[in-house]
Amino acid sequence: MADKNSALWGGRFQKPIAEVAHKFSSSIALDGKLWREDIRGSLAHAEMLGATGIIPEEEVDVIIKGLNEISHEIDRGEFQFDPSMEDVHLAIEQRLIQKVGSVGGKLHTGRSRNDQVALDERLYLKQAIATLNEKIADLIEALLTKAEEHADTVMPGYTHMQRAQPVLLSHHLLAYIRMLSRDAYRLDDALTRVDRSPLGAAAFAGTSYPIDREMTAKALGFSIVMPNSIDAVSDRDHLIEVASACSIIMMHLSRMAEELVIWSSTEFGFVTMSDAVTTGSSIMPQKKNPDMAELIRGKVGRVYGSLINLLTTMKALPLAYNRDMQEDKQPMFDALETTTDSVEMMALVIRETTYNAERMEDTVRAGHLMATEIADYLARKGMPFREAHHVTGKIVAYADKKKKSLEELTIEEYQSFSDKFKKSIYRSLDPRKSLEEKRSFGSTNPEMVRAELEAWRKRTQD
């Protein structure tokens, strides 16, 4: 191990790194995941070195052949990373030198591990964002399908976890679709800042070799080259931005999961989750636990932790590169993998959930959810809304005292509170009629909800 490290770092060091220090500083157990990105970046860099005449084309051919062979070796499990190598970059470079001889050492001409790791991370992020957005699109599809199935199902809407007003279940599910669509937009927006090539920034000051950064950027599918070499290797704000987007996604999933957990309880009975996404109890045979939803809710803390991890790592680093930044790998991988897995699982949970339309509608009629409609009725009759609100509150208190629903009160009882009440009040007490009377854009009006469902279906098919 000491001989290898001495060879890597040259004659500056007279004493090998301590074994415990090497173990403490090694990142290969984590950044080994980036081997595909590392080889891809090296292939583009080698092609550019040949095209610019920095190294002979015949040597480039040898390097490229060696890199492709290493890729196949890793893919087939024939080459295991040597733990004595500090990171994936050195492990692959040393394997290349073993295979093709000293010419392999020319691959590192005009670049540093600093721009190399920055490149690998950006390549990884581009693919990870694309995969996560595919999972979000699948979850949107699952929610949209359920919303279409329950286009006319009436449910109690809640504020402060108290029954508030009737809404359509489809309108409720469309709210989550809107949240997830913004999540996907945030990822796409972050991608525009990820999609920039740092390769060629070298350690941080650039290089004296006549490299062609535009060539490597184009070969690797980047839109632009990062114009400041210091910035290219010394910031991770794009990674923090992606972790932030993941945190918001997980927050939305947690709200959805929380609702499903509550709704699946006997007290609510709004949903039933299938055996595919639930488990039993080790002691209570009657139990059917919503474990997958609970696990999604529980994993939010991991993603939040990854975001705080990254922010804390970067908060006091002077320019340019610092070894602290090696610690960005674990939170990067964990945030994206946990979020992607959670979105995928939530899509399955939604598909395996049955919504109890009858129970939802019964709950609407059991409470005083039409109280706001009474206040609006009085306001339409000319009573100031504040006064109408006060009168309606008295009616609700009276109904509670009499143990009646608002629908069960007689017209005489209503008129004892105001002579503005006519028999037409009972139309306003019908939940479905109240939905139809909603006129504001974006409301739970059935026609508006149906139009939104159709628009989303068209959007998913385009």
Enumerate the active-site residues.
160, 281
From residue 4, how far is each of 8, 13, 82, 264, 430 by CA, in Å? 6, 12, 11, 59, 81
Phi and psi angles of residue 168, each rounded to the nearest 5 degrees, phi first? -85, 140
Query: Tokens representing 110?
Result: 């005009």
* 260 close to 271: Cβ distance less than 8 angstroms: yes
What is the distance between the alpha carbons of residues 225 and 198, in angstroms, rounded to a whole number? 7
Helix (H) or strand (E) holding 156: strand 154-159
Omega of the bond prior to 21 within 30 degrees of 0, cis?
Answer: no
From residue 77, how far is each of 39, 69, 71, 325 by CA, in Å? 16, 12, 10, 29
Cβ burial of 265 (10 Å; 0-12, 13-18, 19+) is: exposed
List Cβ neighbours of 378 (8 Å cut-off, separation of 6 or more): 387, 388, 391, 392, 418, 420, 421
What is the distance between the alpha carbons of residues 257 and 343, in angstroms, rounded to a whole number? 11
* Alpha-carbon dihedral 319, 323, 325, 330, rounded to 10 degrees: 180
Dihedral sign (CA 429, 431, 437, 443) = positive
* 333 close to 30: Cβ distance less than 8 angstroms: yes
Render 426-440 in DSSP notation, one character per residue. HHHTSHHHHHHT--S
